[in-house]
Amino acid sequence: MPNLLLNITGLSDQQSVRALANAIQDLPNIGHLEISPEKGEVSVEHGQFVSPEDILQAVADAGFAAEIAD
């Protein structure tokens, strides 16, 4: 499965981490998800039926700003 690393802003507490996790996990074919609020990073393992753009849109819809990490 491909892995996507995102830089996220707006992760201020455990509630925001849960909201972000729920938004991403609601997408189909999501594998491992790791959220690091201290670093402002999210690592998402996803299948071929979910594009990076789909994941970015889910993050934005949950109220967070994100960009693909270099």
- 62's CB contacts (< 8 A; 6+ apart) are 19, 20, 22, 23
Task: List, in order of start, the domains of the chain with CATH numbers.
Answer: 3-68 (3.30.70.100)
What the block records as the tokens of 34 is 């790791």
Going by pLDDT thresholds of 50, 70 and 90, the confidence category of residue 18 is very high
The pTM of the full predicted model, rounded to 2 decimals, is 0.93
**Percentage of residues in the chain with pLDDT exceeding 70?**
100
Count CB-CB contacts under 10 A for residue 42: 25
Is it the case that residue 70 has pLDDT exceeding 90?
no
Closest C-alpha to 28, from 53, 46, 10: 46
Is it the case that residue 42 has pLDDT exceeding 90?
yes
CB 50 within 8 Å of CB 28: yes
